[in-house]
Amino acid sequence: MVFTNEQKTFMIETYFRNGHQVNGEWVYEIQPCFREFREQFPEFAVDELNFTKTLKYVVTLFRETGSIQRKSGSGRPKKRTLDTIENIDLSYGTCHKIVKKI
């Protein structure tokens, strides 16, 4: 399940908006965020577990980088390196992609 940037932005805004202080410490709850998300995006089927995992990831990412964008280089590595191009044991599909890129 892939969340859009609009949905991730809404998640994080809702998360921080619903926070409140208890004995001088900020407390954040996921349930109100989940309810608001389902109201805002009723056509998007999401279960609470995936929502919670994504929200925690987005909050951590936002606190570390100030952004909800993935860190550069955090994606799946590409197979098209000089070593793999020179390697003769590539699949037909990988060879086809390499030839298309050249």
Q: What is the pLDDT of residue 64?
A: 87
Same domain flag for 53 and 91: no
Range with the poorest average pLDDT among 40-44, 67-71, 75-79: 75-79
**Full residue range of the structural domain in which residue 92 is found:** 75-102
Same domain flag for 81 and 32: no
Answer whether 65's CB lies under 8 Å from 57's CB. no
Tell me how many domains the chain contains.
2
Same domain flag for 94 and 44: no
21 lies in some domain: yes
pTM above 0.75, yes or no: no
pLDDT, the chain, mean = 85
23, 28, 32, 38 alpha-carbon torsion, rounded to 10°? 170
87 lies in some domain: yes
Same domain flag for 59 and 79: no
Using the predicted structure, report yes or no on whether residue 38 has a pLDDT greater than 80.
yes
Same domain flag for 9 and 46: yes
Whole-number Å distance between alpha carbons of 56 and 63: 11
